[in-house]
Amino acid sequence: MLYEIQTYGKDVLRTDTKQIPEIDDSIKQIVSNMFETMYAAEGVGLAAPQVDKSIRLFVIDLSPLEENEEKRVFINPEIYAFGEEKGEYEEGCLSLPTIRETVTRPTTIRIKYQDLDGKLHDEAVDGFLARVIQHEYDHLEKTLFIDHLSSLKRSLLKKTLNKIASGEIEVEASENFEL
C-alpha cells in the first residue's frame, strides 16, 4: 500500500516522534508500505513522519547507487556521536519537492538502533550512508534539511516553500534520487 508523502507545511513533520515499544506485525506492515512508497517516489530514504506516522522509524535503500548496500530498517535510532570532519553534498527531500541545496554534515557518525527483528545494532557509519542516515534521523527530530541552511538561503526559498505548503507543488517521481 502506498502512503501519501507529507510535504512541507504539514504538522506531522514538526511533531515529536514516539519510541516503538514492540516490533509487531503492524510495524512490519508499516515498514513494507514505507519501502513501497519510497520506491514509487524514487527515493533512497524515508522516515515515518513523512508518511504521517509520528514514530521513531526510517528506511533506507542505497542499492540503486552503491552496489554493496541493501535495504535497511532503523527502529528507535539514536545518533550519539558525530565525527569532526564535515562534507558538503546537494540534498533533496521527498517532503520538499523541487528543492535541492548543498548541506554540510559530519562525514562519520555512531548510531544505535534496532532492526526489523528487534536485534540491537551499534555502528560506526561513514560516507554517503552516514549522510542519508543523518537526513532521515533529522525527520525524527522535527528537522528538515532546509533547517541546516543559512537564513539567507531559507529566505530565498520562501516562495517555493509557500507553494509546497499550499499544495501548488506536489511530490512527483524524480530523475534525481531524493532522501
Residues involved in catalysis? 136
CA–chain centroid gap for 30, Å, is: 15
Q: Name every residue whose Cβ is closer than 8 Å to that of residue 132 and which is 6 or more positions away in sequence.
A: 44, 45, 60, 62, 179
SS3 174: coil
Q: How many residues does the chain have?
A: 179
Residues 87 and 176: their CA atoms lie apart, in Å, by 20
Q: Name every residue whose Cβ is closer than 8 Å to that of residue 91 and which is 6 or more positions away in sequence.
A: 100, 101, 102, 103, 131, 135, 145, 179
Cα–Cα distance list, 115 to 77, 103, 107, 122, 125 (Å): 9, 28, 23, 11, 16
Residues 177 and 166: their CA atoms lie apart, in Å, by 24
Residues 148 and 52: their CA atoms lie apart, in Å, by 22
